Amino acid sequence: MFMIFNNSGSNNELDCGEVATTQQWRRATTQVFRDPSAWYHLVLAFDSTQATAANRVKIYVNGTQVTSFSTSVDPSLNYSSIVNTATAHSIGRVALPTGFYLDGYFTEVNFIDGQQLTPSSFGSTNAITGVWQPAKYTGTYGTNGFYLPFTDNSALTTASNAGLGKDFSGNANYWVTNNISITAGATYDSMTDVPTLTSATAANFAVLNPIGGSTGTNITVTNGNLTATTPIASVSSFFKIPSSISVSSGKWYFEDTVTALDANNWAISIAGTPPLNDSSNQNGLLSGEVTYVAKNNSSVEQIFDNGSSTYTGGSGASAGDVIGVAFDVTNLTVQFYRNNTAVSTAQAITSATFFYISAIVRNNTTASIHNINFGQRPFSYTPPSGFVALNTYNLPASTVPNGASYMAATLYTGTGASLTVANTVGSASFQPDWVWIKSRSAATDHKLTDSVRGVTKGLISNTTAAETTDTTGLTAFGSTGFTVGANTTYNNSGATYVAWNWKAGGTAVTNTSGSITSSVSANTTSGFSIIGYTGTGVMSQTIGHGLGVSPNVVIFKCRTTGVTDWNMYAPAISVFTRLKLNTTDADFGTFPITVSSTLITLPAINNVAFNSTGNDYIVYAWAAIKGFSAFGSYTGNGSTDGPFIYTGFRPRYILIKRTDGVGSWVIIDSSRNGYNANNDDLYANLSDAEADTNRLDILSNGWKDRNTYGSSNGSGMTYIYAAFAENPFQNALAR
């Protein structure tokens, strides 16, 4: 019997089965597993005595049963498995058809002999975060059952029940370790990396993110994604790979052991939001980037800071040296150490909302090898005072531990009669203040209703139309969702729908902060505000938004005239000025706005789209909340190995728009498919039904584009995005 992640070619599926002389049974998932940054909880439940063939093998991922398979062959009734027979058994290795070895992490391995159990025996959903979490199994193990937590690292297990292979079930069914090291240093294999926030030294640690680099196919990442090897190159190349965790505050320390280096080809960098899809830029020559070069052509160390050499000296690093990196994100400095001795003085960094490991290769004859330790194994040297390991326990907690308390992507099927729809996810639900409804199965308009304008008041994102009164549309906001009437756009019998729900501040209040009095429903916890106002026709007016911080995204729509576009702004994103939600148009570059912690300043023009006398307007505004929402830009590469976008959370909803050319507004959410590749698109500017495009992977800390469509990943094209979370990365499991 085998259970493997089949990463050959582009499969990436979870593949389970058994081969004696021929294949006895098999399950290969349609779902693919390509998230290197968080843990998966897997359960394989086997019982060949089940009368229903499909029930003889069940697979669960993160507490949910997998039901979609690319290959599904059932075992015969009462089939006698090779498991528990007198044959070699392996964990982390599959012998047939050829030798496969796991390059990853195991923890909490349970084998229950004689029972087909469900995930509830091994975990539960956390009531606060809504995330599946492991729990200690308390049942019986049976004769050949075992429990391997891998916590006894006093020895390697060989011929007695002690050490890393110790069985803690009470059965003494220990496992012999093979090719495992507990010798201190870069080869140490007893990690403290676990899927829970146990302590400052036991949590989900950062690793190198092989799907996030600019030239990922040229970097080989091994040893549980802690060793990076760059190729021998005949031309100048610059290979970059990020860590799986980004930080924007705090003091952090990690080490990199030099295994192999050549003149001017081993370097390590700290940078703020690097252009990882640009491999032409030499390390240390970008704004906000600081790079330590272990040995340059003169065989001495060198440091580059913001494009300039700030230090040259020493004797240069050698194989076996340990490079310590202490970066203080709060005070924006980074200090490099070689074998615990400071290299030059601390360097200033412009920003460090992201950092990555990089190697410079110039006509080298030796591959550059990095062995990173983010703290999951003992450091070679004590970190400077106040600096901690890069793991999820040490990250600041998000103010929104469960995104389902503030944003939901809710699916329902129309009945053609009054229907109440709940947005409950697990134990979380909320009364929405904005509901955006779209039919998945039919080409119908988008319908947007909010609590400031009131129920039955609909707007359409894919046209310039004025507000309509839909008496049988969305008829009520409820404590856990909303009610729709018999209107066919909202609730056609048999049609399938998605409703994107946001929670603002409930009943609107009067806001007099601006020169125009507004009605505002604002939620400062989730960073969302709905603003209503009446135009005055006076130029350069202001309206209050109630968020207490400057909004990152602002969308305007005139309610009372049918010739106005949906104007979208993102003041903090410099790649564009103004886009229109209802069109495919590129950046218009006109009618800019400004924002502050209290005000939105309208464009300095008497225009019906923003401030025409007597017209009514609605504005939706968001401010980024760490772990819940993110707004930014990226450049496409036109490859199925597309750019990786770090958000710091597992996204529930993603909106993407090209800014430097035409392209539709792509909407992806995690509810409409539920597994990767997440392949169901809708478009804010189109009435089209749902499209199956295999567009991207939704991951524990962001997403990865997996197609070459110009609407999200054209080569060299610029895009902006808005994303909202299922869960902050601190709590998220891999999808």
User: Would residue 430 count as lying in a domain?
Assistant: yes
User: Would residue 706 count as lying in a domain?
Assistant: yes
Query: SS3 for 209?
Result: coil
pLDDT digits (tens, 9 = 90+) for 291-326: 888 888 788 999 988 778 899 998 889 999 999 999
How far apart CA 296 and CA 314 sit, in angstroms, is 11
Residue 222 shares a structural domain with residue 354: yes
- As beta bridge partners, residue 682 has 667
607 has pLDDT over 80: yes
pLDDT digits (tens, 9 = 90+) for 135-173: 999 999 999 999 999 999 999 999 999 999 999 999 999
Can you spell out the DSSP letters for 517-535?
-EEEEEETTTTEEEEEEE-
Residue 611 shares a structural domain with residue 550: yes
pLDDT at 600: 98
How far apart CA 354 and CA 645 sit, in angstroms, is 11
Residue with structure tokens 């996204």? 651
pLDDT at 275: 47
Measure CA of the first residue to CA of the last residue in the chain; give whole Å: 24
280 has pLDDT over 60: no
How far apart CA 623 and CA 529 sit, in angstroms, is 9
Average of per-residue pLDDT across 204-217: 77
Residue 487 shares a structural domain with residue 527: no
Return the number of other C-beta atoms located less than 10 Å from residue 724's C-beta: 28
The residue out of 622, 645, 660 marking a domain boundary is 622
How far apart CA 578 and CA 592 sit, in angstroms, is 7
How far apart CA 48 and CA 14 sit, in angstroms, is 20
The residue out of 61, 81, 107 marking a domain boundary is 107
pLDDT at 267: 84
- DSSP annotation of 648 reads S
Q: Are 226 and 373 in contact (CB under 8 A)?
A: yes
pLDDT at 462: 98
360 has pLDDT over 70: no
Cα-trace Rg, the chain: 28
pLDDT at 273: 58
User: Phi and psi at residue 304, in whole multiples of 5°?
Assistant: -110, 135
pLDDT at 218: 72
73 has pLDDT over 70: yes
Residue 282 pLDDT level (bands cut at 50, 70, 90)? low
pLDDT digits (tens, 9 = 90+) for 223-243: 999 998 877 766 666 677 888
Residue 517 shares a structural domain with residue 495: no
- Residue 409 to residues 136, 427, 694: CA-CA distances in angstroms? 32, 15, 19
Pick from 401, 405, 618: nearest CA to 521: 618
Residue 278 pLDDT level (bands cut at 50, 70, 90)? very low
567 has pLDDT over 50: yes
Query: SS3 for 362?
Result: coil
Lowest mean pLDDT of 195-204, 234-243, 550-559, name the range.
234-243
Tokens of 722: 């808005």
How far apart CA 181 and CA 465 sit, in angstroms, is 67
Residue scoring higher pLDDT (515 or 96): 515
Cis peptide before 586 (omega within 30 of 0): no
Alpha carbons within 13 angstroms on the beta-carbon side of residue 50 total: 15
User: Would residue 548 count as lying in a domain?
Assistant: yes
User: Would residue 157 count as lying in a domain?
Assistant: no
pLDDT at 215: 46
Residue scoring higher pLDDT (111 or 99): 111
User: Phi and psi at residue 194, in whole multiples of 5°?
Assistant: -140, 165
Residue scoring higher pLDDT (237 or 440): 440
Average of per-residue pLDDT across 548-560: 97
Please state the domain count of the chain. 5
The residue out of 566, 601, 622 marking a domain boundary is 622
Average of per-residue pLDDT across 197-209: 94
Query: SS3 for 447?
Result: strand
The 3-class secondary structure across 379-443, one letter per residue, is CCCCCCCCCECCECCCCCCCCCCCHHHCEEEEEEECCCCCEEEECCECCECCCCCEEEEEECCCC
pLDDT at 214: 55
User: Would residue 385 count as lying in a domain?
Assistant: no
Pick from 18, 36, 161: nearest CA to 697: 36
Residue 232 shares a structural domain with residue 365: yes
User: Would residue 443 count as lying in a domain?
Assistant: yes
Lowest mean pLDDT of 64-68, 83-87, 155-159, 387-391, name the range.
83-87
Residue 255 shares a structural domain with residue 365: yes
Q: Are 376 and 190 in contact (CB under 8 A)?
A: no
- Please state, for a pLDDT cut of 90, what percent of the chain lies above it: 73
Residue 363 shares a structural domain with residue 325: yes
Return the number of other C-beta atoms located less than 10 Å from residue 301's C-beta: 22
pLDDT at 271: 76
User: Would residue 578 count as lying in a domain?
Assistant: yes
Average of per-residue pLDDT across 406-430: 95
- DSSP annotation of 489 reads H
How far apart CA 255 and CA 346 sit, in angstroms, is 16
188 has pLDDT over 80: yes
How far apart CA 547 and CA 539 sit, in angstroms, is 24
pLDDT at 35: 93
Cis peptide before 36 (omega within 30 of 0): no
Average of per-residue pLDDT across 409-422: 98
Average of per-residue pLDDT across 541-551: 98
Helices (H), 7-115: none
The chain-wide mean pLDDT, for the chain, equals 91
pLDDT at 240: 76
Pick from 374, 318, 371, 309: nearest CA to 344: 309
Residue 580 shares a structural domain with residue 633: no
Residue ranges with strand state E in 164-225: 220-222
283 has pLDDT over 60: no
Residue with structure tokens 């200690």? 136
Residue 583 shares a structural domain with residue 686: no
How far apart CA 20 and CA 200 sit, in angstroms, is 46
How far apart CA 466 and CA 563 sit, in angstroms, is 8
pLDDT at 613: 94
Average of per-residue pLDDT across 194-217: 84
Residue 352 pLDDT level (bands cut at 50, 70, 90)? low
Task: Provide the residue count of the chain.
Answer: 735
- Please state, for a pLDDT cut of 70, what percent of the chain lies above it: 93
Average of per-residue pLDDT across 341-349: 90
Average of per-residue pLDDT across 568-574: 93
Residue 461 shares a structural domain with residue 604: no
Residue 627 pLDDT level (bands cut at 50, 70, 90)? very high
How far apart CA 410 and CA 672 sit, in angstroms, is 9
2 has pLDDT over 70: yes
How far apart CA 125 and CA 132 sit, in angstroms, is 4
Residue scoring higher pLDDT (450 or 428): 450
Residue 369 shares a structural domain with residue 220: yes
Average of per-residue pLDDT across 690-694: 84
Residue 35 shares a structural domain with residue 82: yes
User: Would residue 316 count as lying in a domain?
Assistant: yes
Number of H helices, E strands in the chain: 2, 53
Residue 363 pLDDT level (bands cut at 50, 70, 90)? low
pLDDT at 277: 44
- As beta bridge partners, residue 251 has 328
pLDDT at 234: 61
Please give the distance of CA 253 from its chain centroid, rounded to a whole number.
Answer: 23
Average of per-residue pLDDT across 37-66: 96
528 has pLDDT over 70: yes
pLDDT at 102: 85
Q: Tell me which residue range forms the domain holding 25.
A: 2-107
User: Phi and psi at residue 473, in whole multiples of 5°?
Assistant: -90, -125
pTM, full prediction = 0.95
**Amino acid at the residue 425:** V
